[in-house]
Amino acid sequence: MTSIRVGDATLSYDDEGSGPPVLLLHAGIADRRMWRRQIPALRDRHRLIAMDLRGYGESELPSAPFAHHDDVIGLLDALDIDRAALIGCSFGGAVAIDTALAHPDRVTSLALFGSALSGHDWSEASERLWVDLVGEVDPTDLDAMARAEVRFWVVGPGRRAADVDPALLTLALEMDRRALAAEAALGGVTQHELDPPAAARLPEIAVPVLVAAGALDLPDIHLLADRLAAEIPAARRLPNVPGAAHLLPLECPDPVNVAVREFLATTA
pLDDT band at 93 (very low <50, low <70, confident <90, very high): very high
Q: At what angle do helices 91-102 and 68-78 cross, to 10 degrees?
A: 70
What residues contact 21, with CB distance under 8 A and at least 6 apart?
46, 47, 49, 76, 79, 81, 83, 84, 85, 268
Q: What is the pLDDT of residues 187-205, one digit of tens each?
A: 888 888 999 999 999 999 9
For residue range 238-257, list pLDDT tens digits in order.
999 999 999 999 999 999 99
Domain spans in the chain, listed from the N-terminal domain onward:
2-120+189-267, 124-185
The 10s digit of each residue's pLDDT in 55-77 is 999 998 887 889 999 999 999 99
CA neighbor of 21 nearest in space, from 73, 72, 82: 82
Evaluate if pTM is beyond 0.85: yes
170, 180, 182, 186: which is closest to 144 by C-alpha? Answer: 180
pLDDT of residue 268: 66
The whole-angstrom separation of Cα 217 and Cα 154 is: 8
Q: Are 62 and 54 in contact (CB under 8 A)?
A: yes
The 10s digit of each residue's pLDDT in 178-191 is: 999 988 888 888 88
- Torsions phi, psi for 10 (to 5 deg): -95, 125
| CATH code for the part of the protein at 2-120+189-267 | 3.40.50.1820
Residue type, 9: A
Distance between CA 35 and CA 39 in Å, rounded?
A: 6
Query: How far apart, in Å, are the Cα atoms of 164 and each of 1, 39, 155, 160, 161?
Result: 28, 23, 7, 7, 5
Distance CA 238, CA 217 (A): 14
88: pLDDT strictly greater than 90: yes
Query: Count of CB atoms within 10 A of residue 141's CB?
Result: 12
